[in-house]
Amino acid sequence: MVSLFFLLIVAVALAAFAFGRSRGRAFVGGGARLHSLPVYHGLFLATLCVLPMLVALAVWTPLAPRYVEARTLAALPADLAPQNALEQEGRLREARLVALGQFAGTPDPGIAVAADAYSGARTEAEVALLVLGLAGAAAGFAFGRRRLAPDFRARNSFEHVTKVVLIACSGVAILTTVGIVFSVLFETLRFFARYPWYDFLFGLQWSPQTAIRADQVGQSGTFGAVPLFAGTTLIMLIAMMVAGPVGLFAAIYMSEYATPRVRAVAKPVLEVLAGIPTVVFGFFAALTVAPFIKSVGETLGLSVASESALAAGLVMGVMIIPFVSSLSDDVINAVPQSLRDGSYGMGATRSETIKRVVLPAALPGIVSALMLAISRAVGETMIVVMAAGLAGNLTFNPLEAVTTVTVQIKTLLVGDQEFDSAKTLSAFALGFVLFFFTLALNIIALRIVRKYREQYD
Amino acid sequence: MTDIAAPPPGARRFGLSSDEAQARLRRRHAAEARFRAYGIGAIALAAIFLVVLISDVVVKAMPAFTEYRLTMTVTPTLEQVSSDGTTDPQALRSGDYDAVLRAGLQELFPQVTTRALRRKLNNDLLSSGAAMTLRDRVLADPAVIGQPVTIEALFDDAADLYLKGLMTGRRESAGQGQAQVTLDGEDVVLTSSAPDFARALAEVKESLREEAAADRREAARLTAAAADVSGDQREALQRRIADLEGEAAAAEARAAAADAPERLTADLPSKLVFINGGIVKLTEISASEARGTVLVPLANTDAVAAGRWDILTLTQPEANRRLDDQVVAWLEDLKQRGMVASHFASRFFTSGDSREPEQAGILGALIGSALTMLVTLVLCLPIGVGAAVYLEEFAPKNRLTDLIEVNINNLAAVPSIVFGLLGLAMFLNFFGLPRSAPLVGGLVLALLVLPTIIIASRAALKSVPPSIREAALGIGASHQQAVFHHVLPLAMPGIMTGTIIGMAHALGETAPLLLIGMVAFIVDVPGSITDAATALPVQIYLWSDLPEPLFQAKTAAAILVLLAFLFIMNGLAILLRRRFERRW
């Protein structure tokens, strides 16, 4: 239905455009001097017709399902009236299936009545959309048509609308941020209403399984997130131990030493590495690196968990090498050549120049690059989901299995979920922590660059 | 003039040619070389990792691109394939095609009579997909009912793995001497004029020694582990260690008695003898003769000349395999009859997901990804370009604009899983959009890549020189006309490049799709953006979790397909940049 309506919108727009343009041309033919080109008369008229239709659709989309649902539920006989939300959903689904003719078997007569009400209400809603949309388009058309005249400033009116649309496009970024903040904030507040926030932030035990029956022992569900923070930190540290030095040295070599031919080979290598999806790294970490580390550890007589933090951390480190190197590369390149020349002129070797002159000058940028890399490592999901563990062990031994914030968010939210349990809500609390932690890191990184950057020009 | 040459009073003098100075210079140059080597090492490390990663995936993926099929002739009867005795397509669809295949297999192995063996023959050899192949064949041409039809039936995944050589190592050796076959009740006794069986016995002793050594290693490892634990755990470990030591000692004793006959139990490598058109599984070997059970009947019990009979050793013991020696013997027999062939597994690209690894394909995931990308592109290209045009060309310098810019930069660094939370809370719970649908996946990914596209588009717009804008304004174009008619078209190649790179990023993104429920097991290929679907990276994640080796191969193969798409997209972006980018 909605796609049909979109087709209708396109058809109306085309018709209005053609009409408006021909009117514009008729004015020219009549010898009048137009303010705006005929095309703009068409565009103006089309906009006036389309906007009411879009408004109608925007109003209809959230309202129609509610209306249909209410009508269907009202039609249910008293003995089938749902007692709770779950039953209500089941009844609605059944009625929908019966109405669409996909119900297997013979439906209950009560459900059949509801199904009739459902189809009836749906038809009404669709007709309402059509009527509303076409009426709006007609009104817009009538209004616009009266304004078309040789001296009408059609271009200015149309450009005004365009500008509003462009501003709306830019506003999507703000809306997204607001959406993220609200969606995690509300659920997080609901979580903290059931579970004290200090226990969440400082508790040492993470076991989100909640009791199915009230009398079950040890199933109370404790949400002490410290083991998750510790696990995330451990894996992040391992990753940064790989990505920090390797990424930095790669950047130094690429910007200070590499000949154009070496650059032509090395740069694509890093770019390809950056373009590999994280799920591929996860597969590699879980199926190749982790067993390899385990077998190496066993030959050395160490006991290594099959989902060791080391495997996930190493692979994650490799994943962020290109990130560190490309950011540092930009920063190092931004150091003016005159500083290097001065250092060479004093007789310093290249490496001395880099260590004593270039790196100190680029330090704020490098620090911010490393901070951005940390935020990337903390928020990375697929590698740890596939290669790290699920149990919240509070340990800093890289050979043991640890779990991370992102793993828990994914584990708690995938599969069946009831939106009222502390278990599900705790995932949003974790998301809240994750979002604000990475946001803070980004803001601090940008601040560092702004504050400590040397202005050379 | 001359006072430049005179050193200032009190300055230290360095002789550039003194030994001290030379040594210092050498040290500095060595430090220089080391530093440079670190840089080369870092890049080499990244390159080596990339090569290892890709070759690992390629090697793992290879088995997924071929499949073994059994070329067999079956005769479907009307009673079997039609549920009501007519050739109505509806009736043919619900026929019992398994029965036809069962009859066909029975014909291939008429000597299989016991219930247990028959069940094994029917269940362990062919995939359930074989019946589908036959059904499609019959539906396409009902005239074949009652006629012999030759079909290519897909093997079950375990049989397929065996035939690909991935289940166990195989070692074939031709018999060196003349073999005599004697029947002894149910068993067959084989003797050879050459020391064939003495060699086989030595091999068995060798595997016993290896087994003992493995037990000892495990015991040593557990002893080390037992030092760290206490109480019950320690006791259990010590019991286990004692058991292992005992097993190792027993195995060593058997291995030491060089001539003592050995029973070939299920935890030792199997030995199959191919003789007189049949297959015998050895159960007991001594230096002079071997005793075994018949897996595939022998044509006769004649003596066989040297080189006309073979011993096949399966290095993986029967207890550690999914396929027992009986099924292996059937497969080997079919192979000798020339009925087994390897084909390109086009099924991988033309079918949806399945619980059976040999039937699983990526078509559903590919279509799901394509629909998701479509939604993403339709949303984020106009919105992204619109936002970029506004911010770059029209926006006044004020606090709102600043806020938007800071927002866009921050969104680019928000972890992708947080966008999944947004999708779950907003699109699914608040707006009530359908779960698992490409529509929601596309919406979330559009928001995810929007910052990338806005930033790339702004860079492209910025690179168009102001002279273009000014020339347009100078001949009387409005500001918008200048932008939309002149600046934007010139910036389009750059915008397209950014969009393609953003879409490649979206194509590989997994985490947000997990949260909005695109992880369900979905067999059907999705037909619209509101159908339940999964995407290619999510399919990779789902398969990588499954224990079957063939699913692992398919995971790697799906990764190759994903990487291929990403390389094509990035290549296209580079091509666009090279071809259309203008330096002003």
Q: What is the pLDDT of residues B75-96, one digit of tens each?
A: 888 878 777 777 777 777 777 8
What is the enclosing helix (H) or strand (E) of B321? none
Size of interface A-B (CB pairs under 8 A): 260
Chain A closest-CA separation from residue B63 CA (Å): 16
**Pair of tokens at residue B139:** 């539906």
What's the mean pLDDT in A331-338? 88
Say which residue, A244 or B264, is predicted with more confidence.
Answer: A244
Does the distance separating the beta carbons of A65 and B404 come in below 8 Å? no
Domain boundaries defined on chain A: 2-152, 222-452
- Closest CB to B418 among A349, A372, A431: A431
Average pLDDT, chain B: 85
Residue A188's CB is within 10 A of a number of other CB atoms, namely: 22
Q: Does A89 touch chain B (CB under 8 A)?
A: no
pLDDT (mean) for B42-52: 92
Looking at the predicted structure, is the pLDDT value of residue B457 above 90?
Answer: yes
Phi, psi (deg, nearest 5) at residue B300: -155, 180
Q: Looking at the predicted structure, is the pLDDT value of residue A329 above 80?
A: yes
Tens-digit pLDDT profile for residues A35-66: 888 888 888 889 888 888 988 888 888 788 78
Element (H, E) at B28: helix B19-61
The verdict on a CB contact (< 8 Å) between B415 and A406 is yes
Q: Is the pLDDT of residue B359 over 80?
A: yes
Q: Which of residues 189-208 of A touch B (CB under 8 A)?
A: none
- Residues with Cβ within 8 Å of residue A163, at least 6 apart in sequence: B390, B394, B480
Average pLDDT over residues A201-217: 68
Q: Which of B42-51, B77-86, B92-101, B328-337 has the lowest mean pLDDT?
A: B77-86
Question: Comparing B259 with B272, which gets the higher pLDDT?
Answer: B272
A253 touches chain B (CB under 8 A): yes
How far away is chain B from the Cα of A159, in angstroms, using its nearest Cα? 7
Q: B34 or A70, which is more confident? A: B34
Are B570 and A249 within 8 A, CB to CB? no
8 Å CB contact of A382 and B510: yes
Q: Which residue of A has its CA nearest to B45?
A: A246
DSSP secondary structure code for residue B8 in this structure: P
Give B65 to chain A, closest Cα distance, Å: 19
Nearest CB to B415; choose among A256, A266, A434: A434
pLDDT in tens, B561-571: 999 999 999 88
Residues of A in contact with B545 (CB under 8 A): 386
Segment among B293-302, B371-380, B393-402 with least mean pLDDT:
B293-302
Sign of CA dihedral B322, B326, B328, B331: negative
Confidence label for A456 from pLDDT (cuts 50, 70 and 90): low
Measured between alpha carbons, how far is A73 from A85 in angstroms, rounded to an integer?
Answer: 12
pLDDT in tens, B99-117: 888 888 888 888 888 888 8
A309-322: pLDDT as tens digits: 899 999 999 999 99
d(CA A404, CA A381): 9
Which of A 414-443 lie inside 8 A of B, CB atoms? Answer: 414, 419, 427-428, 431, 434-435, 438-439, 442-443
**Predicted TM-score of the model (pTM):** 0.87
Q: Which of B508, B395, B490, B536 lies closest to B452 in space, CA to CA? A: B508
Check residues A366 and B303 and name the one with the higher pLDDT. A366
pLDDT value at residue B470 = 92
User: Does the CB of A370 have a partner CB in chain B at under 8 Å?
Assistant: no
Chain B CA closest to residue A276? B563
Residue B444 pLDDT level (bands cut at 50, 70, 90): very high
The whole-angstrom distance between B415's CA and the closest CA on chain A is 5
The residue with greater pLDDT, A86 or B113, is B113
Q: pLDDT at position A238, please?
A: 93
Q: Average pLDDT of B297-318?
A: 82
- The CATH number corresponding to A222-452 among 1.10.3720.10, 1.20.1070.10, 3.40.50.720, 1.10.220.10 equals 1.10.3720.10
Shortest CA gap A442–chain B (Å): 7
- Measured between beta carbons, the chain B residues lying within 8 angstroms of A248 are 42
Show residues of chain A in contact with B432, CB under 8 Å.
65
Burial letters for B526-561: b for 16+ Cβ neighbours within 10 Å, e otherwise?
A: beebbbbbbbbbbbbbbbbeeebbbbbbbbbbbbbb
Cross-chain Cβ contact A249/B38 below 8 Å: yes
Using CA atoms, how far apart are residues A244 and A370, in angstroms rounded to an integer?
A: 7
Q: Please report the pLDDT score of residue A211 as a whole number.
A: 52
Asked whether the beta carbons of residue A298 and residue B221 sit closer than 8 angstroms, the reply is: yes
* Interface membership of A109 toward B (CB under 8 Å): no
**How would residue B331 be classed by pLDDT, with cut points 50, 70 and 90?**
confident
Looking at domain B357-580, its CATH class is: mainly alpha
Look at residue A343 in the predicted model and tell me its pLDDT. 92
Tell me which residue in B390, B403, B414 faces A167 most closely, judged by beta carbons.
B390
Q: What is the pLDDT of residues A124-159, one digit of tens each?
A: 888 988 898 899 999 988 888 888 888 888 888 888
pLDDT of residue A104: 67
Confidence of residue A210 (pLDDT cuts 50, 70, 90): low
Average pLDDT (B304-326) is 83
Are A284 and B570 inside 8 Å of each other by CB?
A: no
- Mean residue pLDDT of chain A comes to 85
Q: What residue of B is the nearest CA neighbor of A158? A: B480
pLDDT at residue B13 in the model = 61
Query: Is the pLDDT score of A216 beyond 60?
Result: no
Please write the tens of the pLDDT for every residue from A390-404.
877 788 888 888 889
Domain ranges of chain B: 60-167+322-345, 170-321, 357-580
Q: What is the pLDDT of residue B288?
A: 78
pLDDT at residue B6 tops 70: no
Contacts of residue B123, Cβ cutoff 8 Å, sequence gap at least 6: B156
Mean pLDDT score, A425-445: 89
Three-state SS at B496: helix
C-alpha B388/C-alpha B350 separation (Å) is: 40
* Confidence at A251, pLDDT banded by 50, 70, 90: very high
